[in-house]
Amino acid sequence: MGARTRRRPEGRAARHALAQLTEARDAVDARLEDRRRRENTLLERYAATLVEQQRVEEELTSGLARLQEEEARLRSHTDQQLAAIEAERGDVLWGLNAEGRSAEDLAQIAGLPLKRVRTILRSRKNGDDSAATSDNGEHVAPTGGAATGGGDGNGAADGAGSPVQTAPAEPGDGLSTAPAPQHAGDTHD
């Protein structure tokens, strides 16, 4: 019997130690559960930011596509307007030429390079797809794409050997192969 009484206090101590360990484990588990809940809340917020980022990026892509479409429409509309303006200018230059103004006069009056004026007048003389006949029987047409920009459309400057538009009242077809007048900035050997 004496051995039994001895075991009881040891049994009690073991149960007490086990209860303390279980209590400590439960406290750690409770802290882990609280941490897990806080982590879950934070992870939910992070997931929401991923969804929001995707929405914003899709909105940007969609907006940029709309802007590109609008830019294309605006450029097309502007190009049409500028072509109509250029055609009207070509009509005016052709009319002035038909009234006796030379290409040199028209270049000075309009403030255009001589080669550009010649190109416009030549395109009128050759007739474009919508050619009409002027009072003197020559073809008159809008200049279209070839009449935009300066020089000969390739950025070339006036130079010798270019055909020179003469006044319509002069003999010939209106073009001369005489060298074009040299500008002060041109240097030739």
The 10s digit of each residue's pLDDT in 120-151 is 999 988 875 443 433 333 434 444 433 334 44
SS3 percent helix, strand, coil of the chain, rounded to 5, is 65, 5, 30
Highest mean pLDDT among 59-68, 124-133, 173-182: 59-68
10 assigned to some structural domain: no
Q: What is the CA radius of gyration of the chain?
A: 45
Total structural domains within the chain:
1
98 assigned to some structural domain: yes
Distance of CA 32 to the CA centre of its chain: 56
Q: Given the structure tokens 């390739």, which residue do they identify?
A: 154
53 assigned to some structural domain: yes
pLDDT at 157 > cutoff 70: no
186 assigned to some structural domain: no
**% of the chain beyond a pLDDT of 70:** 62
Domain assignment of residue 71, given as a range = 44-167
Q: Which of 95, 92, 101, 175 is nearest to 134 (CA)?
A: 95
- Residue that wins the pLDDT comparison between 155 and 55: 55
d(CA 97, CA 168): 7
- Calculate mean pLDDT across residues 44-65: 97
123 assigned to some structural domain: yes
100 assigned to some structural domain: yes
| Long-range pairs of 96-100 with CB within 8 A, sequence gap ≥ 24 | 97/121, 97/165, 97/167, 97/168, 98/134, 98/135, 98/136, 98/138, 98/168, 100/167, 100/168, 100/169
- Calculate mean pLDDT across residues 32-40: 92
**pLDDT value of position 121:** 93
Task: Name the band, by pLDDT with cuts 50, 70 and 90, for residue 153.
Answer: very low
- Calculate mean pLDDT across residues 29-35: 89
125 assigned to some structural domain: yes
